[in-house]
Amino acid sequence: MVTPMALETKFWAATDVGKQRDHNEDNFLVDKKVNLFVVADGMGGHAAGEVASQIAVHELRNAVTLNADIIEQFQSGDPSVQPQDILTLMEHAVQSACSAIYRRAQSETEKRGMGTTCSALLLIGERGFIAHVGDSRIYLLRQGHVVQLTEDHSLLNELIKRGKVTRETIDSSPYKDYKNAVTRAVGVYESVQVDTFDFDVLPGDCFLLCTDGLHAYLRDAEMPRLLDGDVQDVTRRLVTLANEGGGHDNITNVIVRIEQPPVPTDRTAEYTRKIDVLRKMPFFRDLDMKEIIRVLNMTEVRGYAPGDLIIAEGKPGEEMFIILTGKVKLHKGDAFITHFAPGTFFGELALIDSQPRSASVTAEEASRALVLRRTDFMRLVKTEGALSSRLLWNVLQVVTERLRKTTVDLAGARMEAEAVDLSEDAEALGD
């Protein structure tokens, strides 16, 4: 049993009323005991938004704290607690906040319809867990790349996804008066659909949790510079940026930085290797960093000793393998076919169906492989609209190329066979 390493973190938070509001309806939570970080942007008249966001962070912390034993089990490497159990915990925490806000609104007429966004990050060992509703955001800065981990639940985002408007044209469109409308909020109804997912956390990672009063003024290209430096200075710098941009709404941000050791860790080196390998694969070569992380979240790394059978000829296939380190061989029975070195992949047709494997693969030396299961791949295809169309197109191209090569090989084999027949006929005539 492997116990996840507790990563050292630095964090700070700041909130400001902005330039155009007379009170602050944002709330945030920083709980260093359980490494829980939350931002919430309330909405509703008669200061109800402030009440909703306050209830959200309070209920979320209570729900997580009450389940500290589950978190401790996961932290210790207890196999009875899996990442999905932590995600379920996070979803229930948000649902608990949702029902608490809804009940309060039903009991106080002037607060009916109040709600809040909620973006929460829980760090346990070397794993991060996110629960998200609304248009607040969580960003990740990793190795110089900025990734928006959450998706806005907003009318603007829906219109952009459907090709109706762009961020540049929204103000001149018929939808301009509704561009800030959210499509999901915590507490407006008794329950809400919550986005949850988990991912590896690496030394050097920096997270930004913020409300739309800040992210409206952020540009990805500038964020590595903005997030650099002392965390307290960074939070103040971001508030100043938003206010100088107009301060149209309340401004809240939480910075969480995972400390980078002097010497890069093996995990960091392996992560870099996984990114490089995926980007060179025809399946994933045109994916951006956020999409690459989505794919990595669905994979696992497996180690093989020399002589270990990775794929067995004739057995149904459900997984694709990508070699990270070592060397493996492809063979039919005792007949050697070829070697697979780091960066190569095999078994990709298993992502489409479960036909029996046509050959076996065995490790020739100590090797590590990135493994993607068909069920996970298909779940990604079903839930990620724009990404799924590109993935399926790439799969089609790979399959087409494989069929084209097979056709050429068969044609070559047929020509060789015909040449042999003609030679034998000529010899027979000569005799």
Rounded CA gap, 80 and 83, in Å? 10
**Residue that wins the pLDDT comparison between 282 and 413:** 282
Mean pLDDT across 389-393: 74
Q: Report the pLDDT value the prediction gives residue 169, as an integer from 0 to 100.
A: 78
* SS3 (DSSP) at 294: helix
Q: Is the pLDDT of residue 427 over 80?
A: no
d(CA 186, CA 39): 12
As a whole number of angstroms, the distance between CA 290 and CA 299 comes to 15
Per-residue pLDDT, 1: 42
Backbone angles phi, psi at 232, to 5 degrees: -65, -40
Q: Looking at 192-313, which runs of residues are DSSP E strands?
A: 195-200, 206-210, 251-258, 299-304, 309-311
Lowest mean pLDDT among 112-116, 222-226, 333-337, 345-349: 345-349
Decide if domain 9-258 falls under CATH 3.60.40.10: yes
Report the alpha-carbon distance of residue 381 to residue 364 in Å, rounded: 34
pLDDT for 2: 46
Task: Report whether pLDDT(4) > 60.
Answer: no
Yes or no: say if 145 and 159 are a contact pair by the CB < 8 Å rule.
Answer: no
At 420 the pLDDT is 57
Name the residue with higher pLDDT: 291 or 197: 197
Q: Which amino acid is at 12?
A: W
pLDDT, averaged across the chain: 87
User: Residue 422 pLDDT > 70, yes or no?
Assistant: no
Backbone torsions φ then ψ of 304, nearest 5 degrees: -135, 135
Confidence of residue 263 (pLDDT cuts 50, 70, 90): low
Q: CATH fold of 264-431, please?
A: Jelly Rolls (2.60.120)
Band of residue 313 on the pLDDT scale cut at 50, 70, 90: very high
- Given a cut of 60, whether residue 352 has pLDDT beyond it is yes
The model carries a pTM of: 0.79
Q: Which residue has the tokens 């929460």?
A: 120
Residue 2 · residue 74 · CB < 8 Å: no
Q: How confident is the model at residue 349 (pLDDT cuts 50, 70, 90)?
A: confident
Return the pLDDT at 227.
Answer: 95
Q: Are strands 9-16 and 251-258 parallel, antiparallel or unpaired?
A: antiparallel
The arithmetic mean of pLDDT across residues 83-87, rounded, is 95
**CA–CA gap between residue 384 and residue 42 (Å, rounded):** 28
Give the pLDDT confidence of 182-217 residue by residue, as tens digits.
Answer: 999 999 999 999 999 888 898 899 999 999 999 999
Reported as a pLDDT band with limits 50, 70 and 90, residue 419 is: low
Per the model's pLDDT, the better-predicted residue between 57 and 263 turns out to be 57
Is the confidence at residue 140, as pLDDT, over 60? yes
Give mean pLDDT, residues 234-241: 97
Domain ranges, ordered by start, for the chain: 9-258, 264-431
Q: String of b and e for 218-232 (b: at least 16 CB within 10 Å)?
A: beeeebeebbeeebe
Span of 45-49, 53-57, 200-204 with lowest mean pLDDT: 45-49
Provide CB contacts within 8 A for 394, sequence distance 6+.
282, 283, 284, 285, 286
Between the alpha carbon of residue 354 and those of residues 19, 61, 160, the distances in Å are: 59, 44, 37
